Structure formats: C-alpha cells, structure tokens
Amino acid sequence: MKKFQHLNRIKKKKLTFMIIPNSTGKIMEFTIPSWIPLFTLSCIIITLIVTAISSSTLLSTQKQLHVARANVMVLEEENMRQASEITFLTQRSAEIEKQLFSLNELKKHVLDIVGLDTQETSNKLEEPFFLVSRSYQRSPSYIEEYEEDMEYLEILIEKQKETMSQLVDDVEKQLDYLDALPNLQPAIGRITSGFGYRISPINRRREFHSGIDIANVHNTDILAAGSGVVTYSGYNGSYGRMVIVSHGNGYVSVYAHNRENLVSVGQHVKEGDVIAKMGSTGRSTGPHVHFEVRKHGEPIDPMELLKD
C-alpha cells in the first residue's frame, strides 16, 4: 500500500522548464511529469546495453562464421583429395583384378599346352577373385574398407605369384619330360614292320619284333626321337651298328642297322638331332632303321608314343 502511495506521489510530481531567450523576450515555460526524464534515461541505458550485447554477439557470430567457413573449405579440399585418391585407387585395383584374371587365364592356357590337370592345380585355378572395382559409400569407414581390400589384393597377388612360380616349375619339368620323351619318328620312310609278333623276313619263323622298321635309302638321316644322353654307340651283333639314347623317366630308345653312327657315349642330344645314317648292317634285308623304345627295360610299341 505504501509502495503504491509512493508511486502516486512520484507521478503527481512535476518538473517545470523555463526558456528565457533574452532580457526583453517572452519567457517560455512548460511542465512535464517528473517520471519522464527518469524513464527516458532508463530507455537510453537499456538501449545502450542491448546495443553492446548485440554488437558483441554479432562479432562473436561473425568470428564463428569465419572459422566455420575456413573449416568447410578445408573439409572440401580434403574431400576432393580423398575422392581423387579413391578414384585412382579404385582404377588401380581394377587393373590389378584384370591382371589377376589374365594371370589365371595364362595358367589355364599353359596347363592346356602341357597337359597338366592335377586336382591340386585345378583347385588353385578355381580360387575366386575378390572384386574391388566397386563404388564406395561416403561413410566414415570407407577408407578402412578400401585398405582392407588392398591388403587382401596384395595377399592374393603374392599367393598367385607363388602359385605361378610353382606352376612354372611344374611346366618346366613337364616340358623337359615332353622334350625327352622319344615320340619323334626317327627317320623319313615307310614303316615295313610293326611292333609285336611277326614272320621273320630272315628265317620265315614266327618271332616277337620288339620295335618298328622304317625303310628308306642308304644314308637317310636318323634323328634322335627325344632329348637325352647317348649310352651306347657301336656294333652289336645282329643289330649291326646301333645307338642307344637314355631319355630319363625310364625311357630308352634304340636305333639299329645303321650305316654310320654320328654320336659317342656320354654325348647329350636334342630331339631331332642327326645321330646316325641309315644302312643295312647286322641281320638285315635292306636299308632301314630298327627303332625300339624301352620303358624300365621292357620294350613298348613306339607307335603309342609317336606324334601324329
């Protein structure tokens, strides 16, 4: 109650202002309530405070905005760099995948050529490839995912290299085996007698013929049917002049009735090398070469080995 009375007294108080222009001028006088100057001063003070706070807030906001813009620019540059790097690495991984596929096709081609087809090799060839040429989602873990993919690729490439290295060893062994296998017809001519039982052209009796006879004219070249080492070169009774070549893996080839032997014991020969001249030495009815193939000491039909 007292507070309201005090406010009423303040409201009732008035301030009188007098303006005296000069000694002769008319004096102007006006009266206003006493609370108006106080109210005006309060408004000015409040306005100044609000202006100061707003200015401070604006400056702070502008500073934060500047920092935010700088951060956005940094992030945009980083994003562009990462996008460029990911594009490059994705292309690189696709190239690696293509190389792996080509390597796999090469292995298959090599196996087809040399005839290798073991279960172990087939399993290696069926090993699936890890596809990495995909579009990565913009997630916090995409870099980690990509690194894992690249690590997997490195492991896979290393494994493929090991597999190919082993395959090359196997192929070299197989090629050596094929090169040494006595499967080349040793002379041009007509096969006059095959492998197996026959009527002997000498005594007209039934006998086992342990090779094949290839007839042609004297001095026709006699070729090594496969690569190997000469283990015999000389004259051997009814076989006449004869050459024996050891090819490894239990295979031995015999060339008999030669007119002349052109190789010596211990000499290394390659498939297709001329090792003798055709003749009719020993027990023979005419110029020909008696060609014999033995495996682990037992004669086998050379026709089963000869190339088409």
308 residues of the chain, pLDDT tens digit each: 555 555 566 556 676 766 777 666 677 776 777 667 777 878 888 888 888 887 788 888 888 888 888 888 888 888 887 777 777 777 777 777 777 777 777 777 766 766 655 555 555 544 444 444 444 444 555 666 766 777 777 777 777 777 777 777 777 777 777 778 899 999 999 999 999 898 877 778 888 999 999 999 999 999 999 999 999 999 999 999 999 999 988 999 999 999 999 999 999 999 999 999 999 999 998 999 999 999 999 999 999 988 76
What confidence score (pLDDT) does residue 126 get? Answer: 47
Question: Running DSSP on this structure, what letter comes out for residue 279?
Answer: B
The listed CATH number (2.70.70.10, 3.30.360.10, 2.60.40.10, 3.40.50.300) that belongs to domain 190-304: 2.70.70.10
Q: How far apart are CA 271 and CA 255, in angstroms?
A: 14
Q: How far apart are CA 213 and CA 191, in angstroms?
A: 6
Instruction: Determine the 3-state secondary structure of 226 from DSSP.
Output: coil
Q: How far are the Cα atoms of 88, 144, 145, 161, 242 from residue 148, in angstroms, in the given order?
A: 16, 6, 5, 20, 67
* Domain ranges, ordered by start, for the chain: 2-69, 91-180, 190-304
pTM of the model: 0.55
